[in-house]
Amino acid sequence: ASDEITPSLLKNIEDSRIAIIVFSKGHASSSFCLDELVHIIHYFEEKGRLVLPVFYDVEPSHVRHQNNSYAEALAKHETRFQNNNENMKRLLKWMIALSHAANLSGYHFNLSFS
């Protein structure tokens, strides 16, 4: 399927020394992006490599605790995944990776000027 990570992308991730993950409001709506995040967090942690999160117009706490747009997107995935244990395990991995990545030191770009 087109929403699966290709072996060549996995290899490129594994060959990288630094991963920069850009979190935006729509990030969690993409199962592809979430699967990629899980692979990056798992592999880079195992190898002791640098992961740098960038929060683009989204609060790090919304990513960490899956609030706001992240809660909405994950709820939609959960509805889609009901009655499928493998996909529910995948959802749990996404949530853990989101929390983990949001706890890393990174950059926060807030576009609102209020």
pLDDT at residue 111, rounded to an integer: 74
Q: Output the average pLDDT for the chain.
A: 92
Q: What pLDDT score does 114 carry?
A: 46
pTM: 0.90
Residue 57's pLDDT is what? Answer: 92
Q: What is the pLDDT of residue 31?
A: 95
Rounded distance between C-alpha atoms, residue 78 and residue 90, angstroms:
10
Residue 77 has what pLDDT?
97
Which domains does the chain carry?
7-109 (3.40.50.10140)
pLDDT tens across 13-28, in order?
Answer: 999 999 999 999 999 9
pLDDT of residue 48: 93
Q: State how far the alpha carbon of 31 is from the alpha carbons of 54, 87, 110, in Å.
A: 19, 11, 24
Residues designated catalytic: 36
pLDDT at position 5 = 87
pLDDT of residue 2: 55
Tokens of 66: 């899956």
**Which regions of the chain are under pLDDT 70?**
1-2, 112-114
| Residue where the block lists tokens 């909405």 | 72
